[in-house]
Amino acid sequence: MTFARVWFAAIVTAAVLHLAGCDANATDGGTLTTNLDPVSNLEAYSASVTSVGLVWTPSPAARTADMQDHQVRVLSVPAGTLLTTFTVAKTESSFVVTGLTGGTKYQFDVIVRPTSAATGKGNSSNASVIWSPARRLPTEAGGFPIKVFETASPSFPSGLIIFKGTAPLATSVQNPSPLSDTLLLDLYLKTETSSMVLLRSAHQYTGRVLPRITRFSSVTRNAASLNDPAVAPPDTTTYSSGNTSFSIDNSSIATSKILFFKANDGNYGRLLVKRQSNGTLIGGTSPDRFLELEVSYQTTPYNPYSRRR
């Protein structure tokens, strides 16, 4: 081999080694690594006042021997400081993060990690979602179902205080007891027609001085429970000043329905209107028809992260 050929081969080899050493996915030993595929469709829901549920579509790597597990990282918002991490088995596609502070926004990252035997494989990129815990209120105080009856009912409560003390409270619009509850009422159930009721802001009731204004989002969801994940809550612009009523008829529906509300003090939340055994959202018979509800309530005013977009 001539000197020129030797010199050219040396130059080419050096160039290749230099490029390999500069590759962002190269290990310290110069071996190229391939990142595992990340999870997809990461969504969240407020599981309780101190916990957030995460749901995702598994990485394709979960079907291989290369994947070891998931790492769930919890970071502060907006600083991005790492607060804690959790290890989640590769067979799982959901996880509930506990030990959080109510009304506080967090960033949740889910990362797919390789086994030590997966030579040349690296961590996946982050799948991220920002969410916060919210208080879950499945019943009234004492464990009774939250039932709000129509205003035509002669005996049962038609108003709802969304949050009082530690629970919601169904109470009479016409004769609240105690009378101080009048000023705390958020919603009432108006008898509209023989086939329809209206869930309305308390300020629309004319029989009492009820100044509290509750607004609904134009976004609704069909869902079996409040554990309904999303990538973001409804945009704050969907709670317009005109959205203070929601009509519900006696048509059959396949599942329960989630309504999103903004209460008088700026607290966002969700109402699960539960499907009844008759297949509709309206239970009972006239004049004692009712809606059965569960509530998720954001404890920090003007923080909409209590549910999905």
> In this predicted model, what pLDDT tens digit does every residue of 264-284 receive, in sequence order?
999 999 999 999 999 999 999
- Domains in the chain: how many in total? 2
Q: How far apart are CA 173 and CA 171, in angstroms?
A: 6
Q: Report if residue 307 sits inside a domain.
A: no
The radius of gyration of the chain's CA atoms, rounded to the nearest angstrom, is 27
Q: With pLDDT > 90 as the criterion, what percentage of the chain qualifies?
A: 79
- Are 87 and 223 in a shared domain? no
CA nearest 37: which of 10, 66, 11? Answer: 66
Lowest mean pLDDT among 54-58, 141-145, 199-203, 293-297: 141-145
User: At residue 293, what is the residue type?
Assistant: L
Q: Which of 81, 108, 133 is the last residue of a domain?
A: 133
- Strands of the sheet containing 159-164, edge to edge, are 167-171, 159-164, 187-193, 196-201, 245-249
Query: pLDDT value at position 176?
Result: 87
Q: How far apart are CA 242 and CA 239, in angstroms?
A: 8
- Are 147 and 278 in a shared domain? yes
Q: Over the chain, what is the mean pLDDT? A: 89
Q: Which of 118, 133, 148 is the last residue of a domain?
A: 133
Query: pLDDT value at position 26?
Result: 44
**Do 174 and 153 meet the contact criterion of CB atoms below 8 Å apart?**
no
Query: pLDDT value at position 304?
Result: 84
Q: How far apart are CA 178 and CA 186, in angstroms?
A: 15
Q: Report if residue 283 sits inside a domain.
A: yes
Query: pLDDT value at position 28?
Result: 46
- Are 255 and 274 in a shared domain? yes
Q: How far does Cα 136 stand from its chain's mean position?
A: 12
For residue 292, the enclosing domain spans 136-297
66-87: average pLDDT = 97
Q: Residues near 38 by Cβ (< 8 Å), separated by ≥ 6?
A: 59, 110, 111, 112, 124, 125, 126, 127
Q: With pLDDT > 70 as the criterion, what percentage of the chain qualifies?
A: 89
Question: Going by DSSP bridges, is the β-strand pair 34-35/121-122 parallel, antiparallel, or unpaired?
Answer: parallel
> In this predicted model, what pLDDT tens digit does every residue of 131-165 receive, in sequence order?
999 999 999 988 999 999 999 999 999 999 999 98
193-215: average pLDDT = 92
> In this predicted model, what pLDDT tens digit does every residue of 2-54 receive, in sequence order?
434 433 344 334 443 333 333 334 444 445 789 999 999 999 999 999 999 99
Higher pLDDT, 179 or 76: 76
Q: Residues near 105 by Cβ (< 8 Å), separated by ≥ 6?
A: 77, 130, 131, 132, 303, 305
Higher pLDDT, 210 or 67: 67
The DSSP line for 261-288 is EE-TTS-EEEEEEPPPTTSSS-BS-TTS
